[in-house]
Amino acid sequence: MSRFDAVFTAALTARQAEGRARALRPVSPAGPGRVSTPDGALINFSSNDYLGLANHPALAARAADYAAAWGTGAGASRLICGTLPPHQAIEARIAALKGKPAALLMGTGWQANAGVLAALLRLAGNGPGAGPELFSDALNHNSLIAGARLAGVRPRIFRHNDLAHLAELLAVPPTGRRFIVTESVFSMDGDRADLAGLAALADEHDAFLYVDEAHATGVLGEGGRGLCAGIPGIDLVMGTFSKALGSFGAYVAASRPTIDALINFAPGFIYTTALPPPVLGAIDAALDLLPGLDAARDALAARAAGLRDVLHGLGIGTAGSSTQIVPAVVGSEAAALGLAARLREAGLLAVAIRPPTVPEGTSRLRLALSAAHDDRDLAELAGALRAAWPALRRAA
């Protein structure tokens, strides 16, 4: 019993009444692209392990090597005595990969966005005049919104991927330094931002352009470098190691003064323990593999296009997906839950995503493809969708 259990229980009961209460369900890896669950083994279409690296032997081996060489924990925050040579080696590799002068490792992607964006906004608010202005895509990740909140900045939201709307908002005379924040690939829709268009607008309005590459790093761009590489005018690129790179942690890459300012002024970097050596080993091995994975990236893109065709054939929309993230947007929560349940019976894991994670009326299965799948796995998914959807559509 805790002092406020009655309060917590009341909140949970309200969630249950809405049919939106959630609970943790354990899974274990069970071969390529598969997990075992209490219901048996399922082909996993809900993981962000897009390249199948989370269970790659080279990553596990180097994680073990680094644990043996450097220990299992860094022992301190980076500025105290937690900076080991491998932290700096990975930072140099990320800076090179992203084509930026410098990079900084962060604890997680959530922490990176919340901590880095907040610190940059605070710094940009220094000096006379009003505070900074933040222009944020309507579908930006929760962590980016958290960064704005931490800095006490109320973001101006532009309609998703609508650069004309953004231009309209930017046309109002500025009251402070400006930031534009977007994802390069959107986590729930699987579509891409127009980065060149955003860079041009940022240039025109002297705005700092901040791009989250969580879902592009490793998967898209030449050699898996992401979508920002080669586009001038992007001030900061953020990404994670927790998705296609198969382990954990995050990074930002930017100019040397930007990175040095974060080292000195970002509480989300300063007051947390450095990434542990085994994780650095896994990252290092993933970065070694990345340039050689063109065939895997091509297969992933081809399978995603095939899956979109299947869904469109069933009359199911896929938002603006052009990547390995293919949302099957079915609309109602009941239809999404029903379809997820039917797929589960057929041996496929595809978790329903509902409000508040996505807007009302756009409940979906977020189908995430992985290089760990093969063509037969995709054929099974297509067959199960074709078998399940007609009855659900009639009931919807």
**Residues 9-38, mask of contacts with ligand PLP (x by CB under 6 A):** ------------------------------
Does residue 143 bind ligand PLP (CB under 6 A)?
yes
DSSP string of 264-303? Answer: HH-HHHHTSBPPPHHHHHHHHHHHHHGGG-HHHHHHHHHH
Q: Which is nearer to ligand PLP, 136 or 240 (CB)?
A: 240
Least distance in Å: CB of 181 to ligand PLP?
11
The answer to the question of residue 108 lying near ligand PLP (CB under 6 A) is yes
Is there binding between residue 242 and ligand PLP (CB under 6 A)? yes
- 78 interacts with ligand PLP by CB under 6 A: no
Q: Does 110 bind ligand PLP (CB under 6 A)?
A: yes
Q: Beta strand 28-29 with 34-37: parallel, antiparallel or unpaired?
A: antiparallel
Nearer to ligand PLP, 211 or 392 (CB): 211
373 interacts with ligand PLP by CB under 6 A = no
**Selected range binding ligand PLP among 105-113, 128-136, 305-313, 348-356, rule: CB under 6 A:** 105-113
The span of 66-74, 82-90, 209-217, 321-329 binding ligand PLP (CB under 6 A) equals: 209-217
Does the protein bind ligand PLP through residue 187 (CB under 6 A)? yes
Contacts of 323 (CB under 8 A, 6+ apart): 185, 190, 191, 192, 215, 216, 219, 220, 301, 304
C-alpha closest to that of 112 among 275, 268, 217: 268
Could you say whether residue 184 binds ligand PLP (CB under 6 A)?
A: no
Nearest approach, Cβ of 49 to ligand PLP (angstroms)? 12
Contacts of ligand PLP in 310-349 (CB under 6 A): none
User: At CA 334, angle to CA 332 and CA 338, rounded to 5?
Assistant: 125
Q: Choose the stretch contacting ligand PLP; rule: CB under 6 A; options: 56-64, 109-117, 329-337, 352-360.
A: 109-117
Cα angle: 319, vertex 322, 323; to 5 degrees: 115
Q: Does 91 bind ligand PLP (CB under 6 A)?
A: no
Q: Which stretch binds ligand PLP (CB under 6 A): 102-110, 157-165, 228-236, 306-314?
A: 102-110
Q: Does 183 bind ligand PLP (CB under 6 A)?
A: yes
* Contact by Cβ (8 Å): 151, 189: no
Give the one residue of 44, 182, 217, 240 binding ligand PLP; rule: CB under 6 A.
240
Query: Is the backbone of residue 47 left (phi > 0), alpha (psi -120 to 50) or beta?
Result: beta
Backbone angles phi, psi at 363, to 5 degrees: -60, 150
Residue number, 137 or 284, with CB nearest to ligand PLP: 137
Minimal distance in Å, beta carbon 50 to ligand PLP? Answer: 12
**CA-CA distance, 265 to 259, in Å (whole number)?**
10
Can you tell me which residue has the tokens 């893109």?
301
How many residues sit close enough to ligand PLP to count as binding (CB under 6 A)?
14
| Residue in 298, 289, 349 with CA at minimum distance from that of residue 324 | 298
**Peptide bond before 359: cis, by omega within 30 degrees of 0?**
no
The residues annotated with a catalytic role in the active site are 48, 141, 183, 187, 212, 215, 243
- 201, 250, 325, 329: which one binds ligand PLP (CB under 6 A): 250
Least Å from the CB of residue 208 to ligand PLP:
18
> Which distant-in-sequence residues (6+ apart) come within 8 Å of 59 by Cβ?
53, 246, 247, 281, 282, 285, 286
Q: Is 370 in the site for ligand PLP (CB under 6 A)?
A: no
Report the run of H or E that residue 251 belongs to, with start and end. strand 250-254
- Residue 285, burial from CB neighbour count under 10 angstroms (0-12, 13-18, 19+): buried
Q: Give least dist CB 391 to ligand PLP, A.
A: 33
Q: Answer for the pair 61, 246: CB distance below 8 angstroms, yes or no.
A: no
In the complex, which residues of this chain contact ligand PLP (CB under 6 A)?
Answer: 108-110, 113, 141, 143, 183, 187, 212, 214-215, 240, 242, 250
